[in-house]
Structures are given as structure tokens and as C-alpha cells.
Chains A and B, each alone.
Chain A
């Protein structure tokens, strides 16, 4: 499957829309009246200086935080409250800024755990582990092995993830999210703390995921080079307020964005 051209995206169907969302913790207003949308098949970047509310935005989208105001429409369904479980059920997967893998499990088991929602057999079948239950394990193992091949982590599949270097942990975490076959993939700083080579690898995987599987991606990233190259559209937050929204080129020229990043003379 080919990624839709830019013109398709502009006209494309909206997968997720955020309308006038506000979120505060006590007196701290993390997000103030932010609206934007994510269209099917695009790579949408959320950028902004530290403390701008980017991660809070992702947490709102996948149900960790309940916004005090605003509406979120995902796949045509509007909601104000959602649990992370419902988000996963609806097809939203995510990775975390500081890797959140299951440390005691192997890379393979971590990715297999991502298939939990796709597996059906009940307790009795599982404890017998014969017939349908065994087949189900094997069918899902096939899918997981495809992801392992795709991410080029064949050599480490049986290694407990706590023993893996950081870059590979990030890759396993991406694998676990992909195993859910999500409609919307949220990536929270997928390249944080990586060297150039690892960043290039990760960028390649993100582009491939978007191209081959047609997965819509929303990502937070600080490396502007990466953001400008990867994303179709960029939304810029600062102090919880949306200050710009558009294609990478538009955003780059936006005076508000330049002021937010470089500071402004008072």
C-alpha cells in the first residue's frame, strides 16, 4: 500500500479530531483550548518547547488523562471520557518517552503481549494448550515474527529486554505497539537519546510503517530535522496553547513558532 500523496491528505478523511480540549492539574493548566485533527494515513507531528503540553496531549488522546473540557472524536465517535483499555480496543497504540517495556519478559514475549486483544481462547483451552489454543499461539507467533523481521531484531528475540541497550528497547517497544495493528500510532519521542545512526534507522521504520501498513502516526519529537522530513503536518504547542498548525514549511516560517523557540525581545 502506498502512502497517500499530500493532496490526498489535505482532502482526506479525519481519523481523530480534538476540539477545544483543556486539561489542568490543580492550578496548572497543561492544555488550554487546543483544537486540531489527524487525518487518515498521515504523519502528524506535535512539537513545542519543554513543558508545552505535548505528552499531556498524547495522554488525553489515549485516555490516561480525562480533559476537563472539550471533545475528542475518533473514527466518527465522540467522547469525553475514555479508559486506556477502550483506546487500545478502538485501535490506538503508543510508545512512551522513557521506554515502558515489560522488563522481566523477553523481546518476543513483549511483542506477543501486544497481541493480547487479538487472542480469543479462554482459560481452559490455555491450560490444556492443545488444538485451537496451540494453533492460536502459533498463528500469532507468525504475525509477531513478521514484525520482528520488519524491525530487524531477530537476534534478540529471546533476550530479556532489561538486558538490551536503549536503542533496541525503543525498537522492541515500537514492535509491541505494531503488534496491536493499530489505526493510530502515538509515538512519544521515538528518537530521544539516540545517536545519528539509530535515529536514521528509527526514521526508516516510521516511514515504512506509514507506507506499508498505512498506519496513521502522531509523533512528538525534538529533532527538527527529523520532524520536518517525516511529517505531513505539524502542530506546535507552547505553554499549553496551540500557536501554529500546518505543513512543515509553513510552520518553519511562522513568526510565533520562531518566537517560542528562540525567545522574543521584550
Chain B
């Protein structure tokens, strides 16, 4: 009843191409952002920050990165964890060797390094497609994991192989409390999500989607496959790299290569598939789903007062989690973002039948 486009006439192409052409959407997003910045910090506790908000936001960013590659450009990748590791270790090394570098620059450096590596490992995509490409990117995952575990220079010859960062600060403000970390993550993720939305609405986004939908037709309208695919690998890996750097610095604090193993790649891939391929909003929804569902499942037996051992709870958690993913994909193969779109279409008519 309240979600109506009626009366909102667009008189310029600029208005029609706006990021949220419908007024209600614009207010909704502003509302969510305002809530996240102003209201949440009033009552959030440490657990909410470190176990929910920060992981969801950082993994959303990684999911946006993978979504650009897989959802928009159609190139399947299983190397997300490896590229996150590149971002994390590159950022670590810059912060270690040039200690006075601004933290934002450190994160961006992580992204740029991941971008270079991503383009390198994206070159096979010019020859191979689909599952075969997935296998090639899987190889990059294993190679990168190996490199960070074995090449000691990356970990500054730490005997345990684990690296740590401490005393983070930005413009003189120490980033020490969970709230400050959360706000920094929120800021970076919001800016990069906006940039991603802009990219996919522009020429580059159309090039990616054209390559995904019909590469032959894309070629005859003058899209070079080399340009489209490698730019998708570059932008995607940049996002994943920044997410990896933030994961290391702001979520973990100290980490070893195992934090970015193949499970991480699968986790991000599931987020993209469940959230919705080819949707920025879907990346956020998918990340929230994958992070929150296990936490929620973990709480249920306690809330219902069923006495279960911790081991039993965690086994059940895996089983229910897997079953829910399967169920969900059967019900809505296009992901949470599609559900959201359907709900919006329905709302436009609700409560009248037509």
C-alpha cells in the first residue's frame, strides 16, 4: 500500500538511470545506513560486533567481488580464498615494512596486489570456460595457500607461520575498540559497494553481462573477450583482496594461511549462490544468511531448553545448515535477491488484488 511508484514521473534520463529510481527505495537505504551508523552503536555489544556485524560486512565485500566475476561476467572461480590471502599478506607486508602508511592505503594496496595476481590467474579464462575454469582457479587457490605457508618472506620468517597486526590507527585515531573497527569496515564496504553498483550499471558492467550471456554476440558488437574477462578478474580480485586485508586486520588480528583455505572459497561461493548471482544486494543477503544461520541454529537448543552436548549441537548445526541450503535452492534457485525482487513486485499491488 505504501510502496507505490504512481506519481513518480521521471522526466530526464538522469533520473531514470538513478541508482534507486523509486523514492521509497532511496529512503529505505538511507534509513538502513543511518541505523547502522547512529543507532546500532548505542546498544551493540562486543559479541554482536566481532561475531556478527564485522564478519557479515567483510564477507559481503568478498561476495561482491566474486559476484562481479561469477554473477556478472559468468566466470566461475574457486580461488576466492587465495585472493583474500594475497590481499591480507600484501597489506601485512606493507604495514610491516612501511609502518607509517595510512591504514586505508594499506587495505587498498592489498586490493591492488590481489588484482595483479587475479589478472594473472585469469588468463586461462581466455581459453577455458565453466567447470574447466573452476578447476584452473582451484589450482590458484592451492598454489597461493602453499606460497604463503612455505615462502617465509611473506610471513616475515615467523617461526609459527602465523602473523599478527597490532596498534592500528587511522588519522591518529586508534582503531582498537570493536565499534571503531565496525565503523571503519562499514565505511569502506559502503563506498566500495556503491562503486560496484556504478560499475555494473555502466559500460563495463554491460560488457561483463554481454560476455556472460552470449560471448559470440558480445564479440560482434566489439567487446574484446580479453578486455571483458580480464577486467572482471581485476575488479573482482581487487574487492576480494580488500576484503581479505580487512579480514586479517580487523576481524582476526592474527592469522595463518589456514584462515584463507579452500573452505573460505566455498563459503564465499555459497554466499553468492544463495544471495543471488548478479546482484549486489544479494551479496549482502547471502553473507548475512551464511554467517547468521549457524549462530542462530547454535542458540536454538538452548532457547528451547533441550539438553544437548556441544558436540551434538555442532553436528546438528552442520546437518540442518546443509539441508536448509538444499531446500532453499530448490524453492528459489535465483537466490535471496530474487525473493526480495518478487516481494517488491507484490508490494506494489498489495493489498489490492490488481
Contact = CB atoms under 8 A, between A and B. Distances in A.
Interface of A: 62, 64, 83-85, 87-89, 93-94, 96, 100-105, 109, 112-117, 119, 121, 123, 126-129, 133-134, 137-138, 141-142, 145, 176-177, 180
B1 interface: no
B204 A93 contact: no
Nearest to A180: B221
A105 B213 contact: yes
B51 interface: no
Nearest to B277: A104
Contact of A116 (B12, B214, B221): B221
B17 interface: yes
B114 interface: no
28 contacts: A64-B216, A64-B220, A85-B222, A85-B224, A88-B219, A88-B220, A93-B221, A96-B217, A100-B217, A102-B210, A102-B212, A102-B213, A103-B213, A104-B278, A113-B210, A113-B221, A116-B223, A119-B203, A121-B203, A126-B198, A126-B204, A127-B198, A127-B199, A128-B195, A128-B198, A129-B202, A133-B202, A138-B14
Interface in B198-249: 198-199, 201-204, 206-207, 209-210, 212-214, 216-224, 231, 235
B131 to A, nearest CB: 20
Contacts of A89: 222
Nearest to B235: A123
By size class, the interface of chain B is: 20 to 34
Contacts of A64: 216, 220
Interface string B4-43: 0000000011100100000000000000000000000000
Given A103-B213, A104-B213, A128-B195, A94 B220 contact: yes
A128 B199 CA distance: 8
Given A104-B278, A116-B206, A128-B198, A141 B224 contact: no
B198 A116 contact: no
A189 to B, nearest CB: 16
Contact of A100 (B198, B212, B214): B214
Nearest to A173: B217
A114 to B, nearest CB: 5
A141 B17 contact: yes
- Chain A interface secondary structure, helix, strand, loop or mixed? helix
A105 B214 CA distance: 11
A115 B207 CA distance: 10
A104 B198 contact: no
A112 B231 contact: no
Contacts of A141: 13, 17
B203 A116 contact: yes
B202 A137 contact: yes
A10 to B, nearest CB: 30
A216 to B, nearest CB: 17
Contacts of B209: 102, 104-105, 109, 113
B221 A101 contact: no
A58 to B, nearest CB: 10
B213 A126 contact: no
Contact of B221 (A88, A126, A133): A88
A108 to B, nearest CB: 9
Contacts of A115: 203
A151 B222 CA distance: 22
Given A64-B220, A129-B198, A137-B13, 16 more contacts: A64-B216, A85-B222, A87-B220, A88-B220, A102-B210, A102-B217, A109-B209, A116-B203, A117-B222, A123-B231, A123-B235, A137-B202, A138-B12, A141-B13, A141-B17, A180-B222
B219 A84 contact: yes
B199 A100 contact: no
A89 to B, nearest CB: 6
Of A88, A113, A134, the most chain B CB neighbours within 10 A belong to A113
Given A100-B214, A102-B214, A126 B220 contact: no
B13 A142 contact: yes
B65 to A, nearest CB: 14
B206 A117 contact: no
Contacts of A137: 13, 17, 202
B13 A101 contact: no
Of A94, A102, A123, the most chain B CB neighbours within 10 A belong to A102
Contact of A138 (B17, B199, B203, B206): B17
Nearest to A145: B13
For the complex of A and B, 7 pairs with smallest distance between CB atoms = A88-B222, A102-B213, A117-B222, A129-B198, A100-B217, A126-B202, A127-B195
